[in-house]
Amino acid sequence: MRYGLILLAAGVAVLLMSEAGEWAALRMLAVVLLVGGAIAAGIAGGAHPQSAAYIKRVGAIFSRNAMCAVAILLTAPALAVLAASLYGALVRLTSSNAAGDAPLLILGGVVALILLALASTVVVLGTGAIRGKTPQQPTEKQA
């Protein structure tokens, strides 16, 4: 664990140096140190006898409702942009100066609608799954 943490600390330091001093060449070294440190720390953590208990304690912090809220927050911007795109396509299509772009705007609206529908559906499904709701299989009847 110690080596992992040293690598991580070094990685953060090198990354800050590379960004602050505009030494972009150091960024690759920072990435290597950070990834190496994370892997080393993870492996060392896996060998620690108490690690499962610690992880369990951390995991218990997250309630289902909190996880659902996170899921919605993470998907909301994309849904909003797609809705805006759909609206934008409709507004431009109904305006007088869209004649040349009409086919592409229609296509844009259709793509936005499909993506919006799919993303909305999986948000509902995903939050349902987090809340422990899965579709009822009819029965595992014989094939």
Partner 1 sequence: MIPSREIFFNIVPAGVIAAYVLMIIPIGLLAYGLARRVRRWRLGQAENRFDQMGHRIWNMVRMSVLHGRIVRTRNLYGGIMHAAIFTGFVTLLIGTLIVMVETDFTVPLLGFSFFHGNFYLGFKLAMNVGGLLLILGTSMALYRRLVLRPATQQTSGDDLLLPATLLILAVQGFVQQALRLAMTQDPWAAWSFVSYPVALALQGLPMDVLARLHQLNWTVHLVTALVFIGYIAYSKMIHPFTALANVLMRRIRPRGELNPIPNMETAENFGASKLEHFSWAQLMSVDACMHCGRCLEYCPTFNTGKALRPRDLVLEIAGLQADRGGIFSGVLGEEANTGRFRWGRGGERELIGGAVSTEEIWDCTTCGACMEQCPVFIEHVPLIVEMRRNLVMEQNSFPQELAPIFTSLERLGNPYQNVPAERADWTRKLEQPVRQMSEVVAAGETVDYLFFVGCLGSFVARNQKVTLALTRILQNAGISFAILGKEESCNGDPARRMGHEFLAQQLAMKMVDKMNAYNVKKVVTGCAHCFNAIKNEYPQLGGNYEVIHHTQLIDELIAAGRLTLNEASDITQEKVTYHDPCYLGRYNGVVEEPRRALKTIPIVNLTEMPRNRKHSFCCGGGGGKAMMKDQSATRINQTRAREALATGASVVAASCPFCMGMLEDGIAAVDEKSGVRVLDIAEIVASSLQAPAVTAQRETV
Min dist. Cβ of residue 3 to partner 1 (A):
13
The 10 Å CB-count burial string (b at 16+, else e) for 90-129 is: eeeeeeeeeeeeeeebeebbeebeebbeeeeeebeebbee
40 contacts 2 by C-beta, under 8 angstroms: no
Residues within window 4-23 making contact with partner 1, judged by CB under 8 A: 4, 8, 11-12, 15-16, 19, 23
Q: Which two tokens stand for residue 46?
A: 């896996």
* Cβ neighbours, 10 Å, residue 33: 21
Closer residue to partner 1 in complex, CB, 6/15: 15
Min dist. Cβ of residue 96 to partner 1 (A):
14
Q: Does 99 bind partner 1 (CB under 8 A)?
A: no
Size of site (CB under 8 A) for partner 1? 87
Min dist. Cβ of residue 8 to partner 1 (A):
6
Residues within window 27-86 making contact with partner 1, judged by CB under 8 A: 27-28, 30-31, 34-35, 37-43, 45-47, 51-53, 55-56, 58-64, 67, 70, 73-78, 80-82, 84-86
Residues within window 108-137 making contact with partner 1, judged by CB under 8 A: 108-112, 115, 118-119, 121-123, 125-126, 128-130, 132, 134-135, 137
Please report, for residues 13, 25, 46, 52, 64, the alpha-carbon distance to residue 40 in angstroms, rounded to integers and kept in the order given: 18, 24, 10, 17, 31
